[in-house]
Amino acid sequence: MSLTNAPELTPERREFYERIDTRSITPLWTVLSSVVTPEPKSACQSHLWHYDDLRKFLIEAGGLITAKEAERRVLVLENPGLRGKTSITTDLYAGLQLVTPGESAPAHRHSQSALRLVLETDEGAHTTVNGERTPLKYGDFVITPPWSWHDHGNDGDGPVIWLDGLDLPMVSLFDASFAEELGVDQQEITRVSGDSLARYAANMLPVGYEARGQASPVFNYPYDRARSALETLKAQGEIDPCHGIKLQYVNPVDGGPAMPTISTFLQLLPKGFRSVSYRSTDATIFAALEGKGTTTIDGKAYDWGPRDIFVVPSWKGVFHEAEDESVLFSFSARAAQEKLGYFRERRGNG
Ligand code: GTQ
C-alpha cells in the first residue's frame, strides 16, 4: 500500500470492483491516495477579479433585477476551479452585493455567518443586525452572526457595493442550513446606532455580561479605527517578514475570531515592502483597500489596486510586493480549521 499510488488494476480486481459497485460499495485502496493526500490537493485555483470589471456587471444587474426581487442582488465570485459550486474556496463563498438608492434588501436570517466589507458607499447606506442599524463607510467590516435578522438599505443618492463573505460551503457540507424571511423589508430598530460599539468595543463589557453564541457582539468594526491602529504600529517599525503589519479582528469577549468559522484580518504593507513566502491551510480571500502591488501565488503574479479581490488556495506559496503603501483586508476559514485542529502554516520556502 502506498499513499501516493493506487494498486494495479488486474482483470480479477476489475471484475470484483464492478460487482460490488452495483451494491454501493467501493474498495478504499483505489481512492485512498486521492482522499488521504500527503499535503493539501485542491481544485481551488488562484484568481483575481478587477473591481472595475465586477462593478460594470453589477451595475448592469441593477438594471435587470431589483434587490427585493432578487432577495440579495449579488454576483458570486466563483472560483474558476470550482464552477457550479457557488464557492470562492472549498470552504467559503464570496460575492459582490449592490443596493441602489431607495432600495432595501429584505430582512431574513440564516444559519450561515456573513461578513461585509464596504467597497463603495454613500451617506445613506446602512445595514441592520438584530435591531441595531449601522451606517456603512468605506472599508468597514460588518458581521452578521448565524441566525441573526439582517436587512440592508440605501437612503442615499449613489450605489452601495460591498463584498460578502459567507461560510456557505461549510454549512452545506454539514447539511445544516436553515433560513427564514421576516416578512418585512426592514426590521424594527430597537437600539441606537453605535450601541454595540459602546457596549462591547470600548475595552469594556457590561458588568455580568454573558456571551451568547460564538460570534462577536460587536458587529461593525469601523475602518477608521482599524486603519489608525495600523498607522500607529507602522511607526514602531516592527514589520513581520511574511505579513507586514497584520492584525486580526477579534471577539472582545474571548479574544477569538469575530465569527465562529471565519477569521478576518487587516494588514498594512509599507511602500516597497516585499514579503517572504508563506503558505497555510486556510485558503484566503484578499481585498485591497488602499495602494497597489503584486501578489505572487504559486509562481503566478497578480497585480492589484484598490477594491480588487483575489484568492489564494490552501497550501500555495504566496508573497506580496507593495508598490505603494497598501492595506489588504482578508478572510479565511482559519477560525473553523483551528477549532477542528486542521490549521497549519509554513513561513519561508522550507
Ligand atoms: O446579505 O444576507 O451574498 O443571505 C448571500 C446570501 C448575502 C445577505 C449573500 C445572503 C446575503
pLDDT in tens, 213-252: 899 999 999 999 999 999 999 999 899 999 999 999 999 9
Question: Considering only CA atoms, which residue is closest to atom 9 of ligand 1?
Answer: 164
In this structure, what C-alpha cell is assigned to residue 141? 467590516
Tell me the best of 58, 68, 74, 87 to mutate to test the pocket of ligand 1, counting ligand atoms within 8 Å of each CB and taking the most.
74
Q: One-letter amino acid identity for 337?
A: Q
Q: How much of the chain, in percent, has pLDDT values that exceed 90?
A: 96
Q: How remote is the CA of residue 39 from the centroid of ligand 1, in Å? A: 33
pLDDT tens-place string over residues 88-144: 999 999 999 999 999 999 999 999 999 999 999 988 999 999 999 999 999 999 999
179-181, strands of its sheet edge to edge: 132-135, 125-129, 150-154, 104-110, 179-181
Question: Considering only CA atoms, which residue is closest to atom 10 of ligand 1?
Answer: 72
E-strand ranges in 224-348 read 245-248, 263-269, 278-280, 284-290, 293-297, 300-304, 309-312, 318-322, 326-332, 345-347
Q: How remote is the CA of residue 266 from the centroid of ligand 1, in Å? A: 22
Q: Cβ(261)–Cβ(216) under 8 Å?
A: no
Alpha-carbon torsion (264, 268, 272, 273), positive or negative: negative
- State the closest ligand 1 atom to the C-alpha of 74, by its place in the atom list counted from 1: 3
Q: How remote is the CA of residue 324 from the centroid of ligand 1, in Å? A: 33
Instruction: Give the C-alpha separation, 161 to 137, whole Å.
Output: 11
| Low pLDDT (below 50) residues in the chain | 1
Instruction: Give the C-alpha separation, 162 to 258, whole Å.
Output: 18
In this prediction, residue 212 carries a pLDDT of: 87
Q: Cβ(113)–Cβ(215) under 8 Å?
A: yes
Q: Is 284 helix (H, G, I), strand (E, B) or coil?
A: strand
Q: How remote is the CA of residue 120 from the centroid of ligand 1, in Å? A: 17
Q: How remote is the CA of residue 220 from the centroid of ligand 1, in Å? A: 16
- State the closest ligand 1 atom to the C-alpha of 105, by its place in the atom list counted from 1: 1
- State the closest ligand 1 atom to the C-alpha of 150, by its place in the atom list counted from 1: 2
284-318 per-residue burial string, b: 16 or more CB within 10 A, e: under 16: bbbbbbbbbbebbbeeeebebbebbbbbbbbbbeb
In this prediction, residue 4 carries a pLDDT of: 75
Measured at the CA of 4, the angle between CA 3 and CA 5, to 5 degrees, comes to: 105
- State the closest ligand 1 atom to the C-alpha of 144, by its place in the atom list counted from 1: 2
Residue-averaged pLDDT of the chain: 96
Q: Cβ(132)–Cβ(90) under 8 Å?
A: no
Pocket, ligand 1, Cβ cutoff 6 A: 72, 74, 95, 97, 110, 114, 150, 164, 166
Instruction: Give the C-alpha separation, 78 to 281, whole Å.
Output: 20
Contacts of 48 (CB under 8 A, 6+ apart): 302, 303, 304, 308, 309, 310, 311
